[in-house]
Structure 1
């Protein structure tokens, strides 16, 4: 099942974003058990994955492609600092171009094509009407800096991690749909520094083990994990920079609108070693589903209720759910009569 891109919908103001039935079916529901337990949950991202799922390809292109690219353009026009690359990351940015163009042209030949004549490359993106010939490695031959050029053609945020001193550093990225974090603030931080605010995980030593695992990822063996939170309205950009636009949304929830306004927000996070720079490509692909759409799957509805009931108070606070968490539990209970 491949979901073709549909006309542009909005992630702000009038919020016209909707999921088709097929998009709901392929949504990456993140809870394997009825009771919530914090874990890194990293697993191999074997490619190709199951056909039609969000795991099939390295970059998932779905029905929201045009909408997300339009939103990215708006965010970058509002704040160009959402795309940053330190000078020593130039080779890693070109690594990203190679990885993205090569895999997308192979996985979606109806939408993308790439021809290589030595270092002279020709790239076509039929969905966005892009057709460019450039010299690989020469930024002057692209209409935009390398990271911005390709980052504006893939769904999801992109961070590129430099590996040195047995640590990972967030030294480049294009981040326009973050879940309450800021690229400008985190740029240059080490792995432990940018994960500092996450509760519970540090006591369990989870991040120390994760870092050791991630720095050992070889070329050609990407890994993935799912991360989740809840958000109000189908809003992609919930960055600290735009908090005045969305911070009060949590106060708008009522028993009558909770199914339509509360969204489960899931990030498919993939880490992929790049061969030239040895950097780690960290893609953060965001999926949104309203509670009304989620409960059309009875198993998801029951499990969502049980997860919300067992969520530790520290995570309720950290994820910003406090104002409507009890109301959501009560609303979900109608779909879980056994509990």
Structure 2
């Protein structure tokens, strides 16, 4: 059973575990509205208990666990990987770029050797060593984007630019938040975001597309997105709705004491990179989950999250799928999480 969080040890930074210290808390203010909220990537975002954002690919203590979950999902549903035929070069481009990113961020774990077309990629954490020739599919055991995706905790979507628009024409997405790559593949950027409330009348999506289409090769930007999630369930794709949709209802109907342990703030850190060879835009989506009982260990976060949830308009709460869970979340924060104002 949950009890009121003891906040007395918060002054000791050593008491804050890594999952909290590195968590990308997404709210700079007490209200939330859709915006492009894009900034250059690569700099650390400091928080009251740590920071995040050093690299566009992030390897943490859940690395093997998350990749095992990806492998399980792909075995059950291979359609989580999609690639239209004209995206072949973009796949190779993305694979090589991501291998370089992994090596730059974690040289003790990853390496990429060779130059020209012939390369060798090594992942010491998984015990994988793979030689390949860029552009030659016979030198890899599976398509390039699928191969490299087995070494990342991020989901990856590749956007092709043509006809004055962006198109979601390839991707590996096993940890979606209430959407389906299989359904969206081949759609335009505007079509993909069609159901999002307010963003079209306020011009957010057209502005975002114009910004992305102006990205120069090698430039990296990032943004965050968020929702609420019951338990540490990374896969909340449309295909698995019967599982996580039921859990939201059961949490809302269950004991308030369980909410702090089971209800998570789900945050996506999304990186946007223009690839140099193919010209495609690579969209990386890394998902972080932190239960409310951990949020409550940082009083500034608990206060702000409570205010955001209370103020969020109904149409936005409905689209984010938090209509059932935000009210018990607010009640738990005020009853057990130390929020008084």
State TM-score, norm by structure 2. Answer: 0.90
User: SS of the residue aligned with 1:37?
Assistant: coil
Q: Which residue of the partner structure matches residue 32 of structure 2?
A: 36
Q: How many angstroms does 1:292 deviate by?
A: 0.6
Q: Which residue of the partner structure matches residue 223 of structure 2?
A: 225
Q: Which residue of the partner structure matches residue 325 of structure 1?
A: 326
The answer as to whether partners of 1:54 and 1:60 remain within 8 angstroms in 2 is no
Task: Choose which of 148, 155, 158 in structure 2 pairs with 1:157.
Answer: 155
Structure 1: gaps (5+ residues) = 1-19
Q: Which residue of the partner structure matches residue 184 of structure 2?
A: 186
Q: Which residue of the partner structure matches residue 86 of structure 2?
A: 88
Give CA-to-partner distance per residue, 1:41-69, whole Å, 9 cap, x none. Answer: 11111x36469843111211111111110
**Partners of 1:29 and 1:48 in 2: how far apart?**
15
**Partners of 1:25 and 1:74 in 2: how far apart?**
29
The answer as to whether partners of 1:265 and 1:288 remain within 8 angstroms in 2 is yes
**Partners of 1:322 and 1:117 in 2: how far apart?**
52
Q: Which residue of the partner structure matches residue 132 of structure 2?
A: 134
User: SS of the residue aligned with 2:114?
Assistant: strand
Give CA-to-partner distance per residue, 1:146-199, whole Å, 9 cap, x none. Answer: 111001111111000001122110000000000010000000000110001111
Aligned length: 318
The answer as to whether partners of 2:21 and 2:51 remain within 8 angstroms in 1 is no
Q: How many angstroms does 1:336 deviate by?
A: 2.3
**Partners of 2:32 and 2:19 in 1: how far apart?**
25
Q: Which residue of the partner structure matches residue 339 of structure 2?
A: 336
5 Å-filtered alignment, 1:115-130, equals 115-130=113-128
State TM-score, norm by structure 1. Answer: 0.91
5 Å-filtered alignment, 1:165-176, equals 165-176=163-174
Cα pair distance change 1:201/1:33, threshold 3 Å: same
Q: Which residue of the partner structure matches residue 261 of structure 1?
A: 262
Q: Which residue of the partner structure matches residue 114 of structure 1?
A: 112
**Partners of 2:121 and 2:58 in 1: how far apart?**
18
The answer as to whether partners of 2:232 and 2:289 remain within 8 angstroms in 1 is yes
The answer as to whether partners of 1:161 and 1:171 remain within 8 angstroms in 2 is yes
Q: Does residue 26 of the first structure (1) align with residue 22 of the second (2)?
A: yes
User: SS of the residue aligned with 1:309?
Assistant: helix
The answer as to whether partners of 2:34 and 2:204 remain within 8 angstroms in 1 is no
Q: How many angstroms does 1:330 deviate by?
A: 1.8
5 Å-filtered alignment, 1:205-216, equals 205-216=203-214
